[in-house]
Structure 1
Amino acid sequence: MILPTPDQIADDARDLAVDTIRTPVLSLTSDRWRGILPDAASVTVKLELFQQAGSFKARGVLLGIRGLDAVQRRVGVVAASGGNHALAVSWAAQAAGVSARIAMPATVDPLRIDGCRAMGAEVTLCDDMPAAFAEMDRVVSQEGRAILHPFDGAHMTLGAAVCGAEYLAQAPHIDTFVIPVGGGGLIGGMGAALKQHNADAQVIGVEPEGADSMTRSLAAGHPVALDRIATIADSLSAPRAMPESFAVAQAVVDRMVHVTDAAMRRAMGQYMDVLRILAEPACAASLAAICGPLRTDLAGRHVGIIACGSNVSVARWQALMAG
């Protein structure tokens, strides 16, 4: 395992600047947050839901597409995803003129399925995320397509590291970062950039109670797979940890916490009530964590959270909020 270096991060940031968005950060100082946020020195959010394709995934996927050789570009790529990665792959592949196959659970928001197809991707619907990963592996063995894994790979780590470095440049005072975790690509890459800037910075991961492969993997000291996934946060529903992303996370994560589906629903409502943001559960996970399990631990800290992406329809959001 080799962490991305500051020079690599800076080079990739320059390469990505033309085609990605420097997403805004917002200091949560409005009086409307009073009684919601913890008693921290400050709380800042980076709004990655405004990124290309609607999530932080765009940077890493774009690096992955650019790293394909001529044969891989001709044959095409395949990915398994609950939605945000699928949309990022569809977007980047279309821009590069590369064929994309996407395996998705049939239960995901139709907005995501339709979005991938609108960008030219061929979508296969599966029973659940483990079945989607199995379909991805089948396509690789039968068609020879290149895998664009949703979180395991140097390109995904580097893309997330660029996001972390960008966040630091926009809000250098932050000393505690609370980051949602699915497979670990985001927290690994962001954590690598953050720790290189400030070795004393805290990097805290957030997983749903019903999809905590990284928490279990870090406790075991090796990647583990889940027998069952039960959470409304389909974007955080990785069925297993993978070696590379696990190793990076193991090197940079200081702590993991769980959030419940109910806590994510509350945070979704708070984003809507205060910022008028239609947040999917994963997008609200960091806010749920600082207002829940971390609430009493953040006094005096300058806290940075991330709204990692939000590809959710109004109908699905309303259904989720109804419980």
Structure 2
Amino acid sequence: MLSFDDVLAARDRVMEVARETPLEYSYSFSEMTGADVHLKLENTQRTGSFKIRGATNRIADLSAVERDRGVVTASAGNHAQGVALAATRAGVDSTIVMPKYAPVSKVAATRRYGGEVVLHGVDYDEAQGRAHEIEAEEGRTYVHAFDDEAVMAGQGTIGLEIAEQCPEVDTVVVPIGGGGLISGVSTALDGRLDDVRVVGVQASGASSVADSLTKGARQELDSVDTIADGIAVREVGERTFEVIRERVDEVVTVEDEEIAVALTHLLERSKTLTEGAGAAPLAALLTGAFDYEAGETVVPALCGGNIDMNTLTTVIVRGLVEMGRYLKIRTELKDRPGALERLVEVIAAADANIYAIHHDRTSRDIAVNAAEVEIELETHDDDHAAELVAALEANGYTVDVLA
């Protein structure tokens, strides 16, 4: 099993390429939760993710023959960038297999870092299958995204930093996909600090570790479905699962809507951009997915910040919907002069702001002398949104809430 000495040995190699990332106290999230919250900003890491750490350590461990033959890996994006950069810096040729639907920004970044990108399959597991075929065909060394002790040890250097930056920490919250990050972090913290708790977080649509722990053996999901593509893995690693069972105190799940809210809060309150996987630990804290005491020192590890801009737009809107700050409604008007103006007056009287109005006279679902109106609105919170809908209904409008 991965040892504390493995993590210590990885540190010098890793820090030749990676950087030590900040750990910052968050007044906003401490106030919101009652805990003493410090954010580990691994989203500011080179390549935008912790994956550069494990990739660097693994490539440094290659033999001369393996270096000449090159490496191959599979990744949804962050490991891809880490391997590409680490390999390029070491003078090693790299081929990266990514799912066809990997975020465009991550594909482009992987190519910029020097990796040859092959797009294959609908998810990580199908991409991994193709990567193993290339491994056999070309004699390359496969660099596993998580189920490799050198990779796990490299990721564990985050745990060493947390222990040094915040030695009073009580709980560290870490996202889990295949388990490489939490295996390394829990091993580092176990070797460095006494009585620190490690909580793992998965998206409910990719909860392979939570299911595996419940059933006592590794479980493979038929599919994964989450906005947190960085932790969208169908099966936890064999090696990582053993470390998780031994050293991780608890594994919880969060919904995509909760991740979206956490990501939106990070942008608004901390001016910090994360991807879905990076926001998952904060989502677990904000929703009370695990128990903690008032004043407890909690460190959510914000593991990455590589989010596609189109995805970011969607996630922010979903976060605002969940927070009651974005409302989309549909209603009908009589198709006569002044009807739309009267509707807008009711909205203005309720102190809501209009983003957009779509006015349609041609819908087959309404009467010939009517018009269908869809309106996107900015509201203050859930109560304000409910008050607006009630005001419209009190004025005779039938309202369908669309978002």
User: Shorter-normalised TM-score: what interval?
Assistant: over 0.9
For residues 292 and 74 of structure 2, the distance between their equivalents in structure 1, rounded to whole angstroms, comes to 36
Mapping 1:76-155, distance limit 5 Å: 76-126=70-120, 127-155=122-150
User: What is the CA distance between 1:295 and its match in structure 2?
Assistant: 6.4
Whole-angstrom CA distance in 1 between matches of 2:184 and 2:208: 18
SS at match of 2:163: helix
For residue 219 of structure 1, report the CA deviation from its aligned partner: 2.0
The correspondence for 1:28, drawn from 10, 26, 29, is 26
CA distance in 1 between counterparts of 2:134 and 2:218 reads: 24
Indicate the structure (1 or 2) with the bigger Cα radius of gyration: 2
1:73 deviates by 1.0
- The whole-number CA distance in structure 2 between the counterparts of 1:107 and 1:9 is 33
Name the counterpart of 1:16. Answer: 14
Q: Which deviates more, 7-16 or 127-136?
A: 7-16
The alpha-carbon distance between structure 1 residues 295 and 162, as it changes in their structure 2 partners (threshold 3 A), is: closer
Query: Tell me, what secondary structure is at the counterpart of 2:169?
Result: coil
Q: What are the superposed Cα offsets for residues 138-194 of structure 1, whole Å, 9 maximum, x if unpaired?
A: 112222211111111111211122110111101101011111001111111100111
Aligned to 1:196: 191
Q: Distance in 1 between matches of 2:22 and 2:217?
A: 35
Asked if 1:269 corresponds to 2:268, the answer is: no
Distance in 1 (alpha carbons) for counterparts of 2:181 and 2:53: 11
Query: Larger relative CO (CA 8 A, sep 6+): 1 or 2?
Result: 1
Q: Is contact 1:93-1:99 (8 Å) kept?
A: yes
What SS does the aligned partner of 2:206 have? coil
Q: Is the 8 A contact 1:218 1:250 kept in 2?
A: yes
CA distance in 2, matches of 1:86, 1:52: 13
Checking the alignment, whether the CA contact within 8 Å between 2:39 and 2:299 is kept in structure 1 is yes
What secondary structure does 2:301 align onto? strand
Indicate conservation of the 8 Å contact 2:30/2:37, yes or no: no
Maintained 8 Å contact 2:43/2:273: no
The alignment status of 1:209 with 2:207, answered yes or no, reads no
Moved more, 137-146 or 162-171: 137-146
Q: Does 1:233 align with 2:245?
A: no
Separation of aligned partners in 2, 1:301 and 1:10: 27
Shift of 1:34: 6.6
Distance 2:224 2:293 in 1: 30
Verify: 1:253 aligned to 2:248, yes or no: yes
Q: Is the 8 A contact 1:4 1:161 kept in 2?
A: no
Aligned to 1:3: 2
Within 2, Cα distance between the matches of 1:210 and 1:129? 14
Cα distance in 2 for partners of 1:161, 1:122 equals 27
Matched residue of 2:307: which SS? Answer: coil
Per-residue deviation at 1:296? 5.2
> What are the ranges of 5 or more consecutive residues in structure 2 without an aligned counterpart?
319-403
The answer on 1:49 being equivalent to 2:49 is no
Distance in 1 of aligned mates of 2:63 and 2:57: 12
Q: d(CA) in 2 for partners of 1:271 and 1:218?
A: 30
Counterpart among 48, 58, 64 of residue 64 in structure 1:
58
Aligned residue in 1 for 2:358: none
Alpha-carbon separation, structure 2, partners of 1:183 and 1:246? 9
- How far 1:199 sits from its partner (Å)? 4.2
Report the TM-score when normalising by structure 2. 0.75
How big is the alpha-carbon RMSD for the aligned residues of Structure 1 and Structure 2? 1.6
Quick one: distance in 2 between partners of 1:238 and 1:298? 31
Give the distance between the partners of 1:65 and 1:18, measured in 2 at CA.
12
Distance 2:12 2:125 in 1: 36
Contact 1:278 1:317 in 2 (8 A): no
Deviations 1:258-311 (A, max 9, x none): 100000000110011012222110110010000013365343421111110111
In structure 1, what is the Cα distance between the partners aligned to 2:139 and 2:234?
23
Count of paired positions: 317
Which of 155, 166, 169 pairs up with 1:171? 166
TM-score normalised to the size of structure 1? 0.93
Conserved? CA contact 1:38–1:295, under 8 Å:
no
Q: Is the 8 A contact 2:167 2:193 kept in 1?
A: no
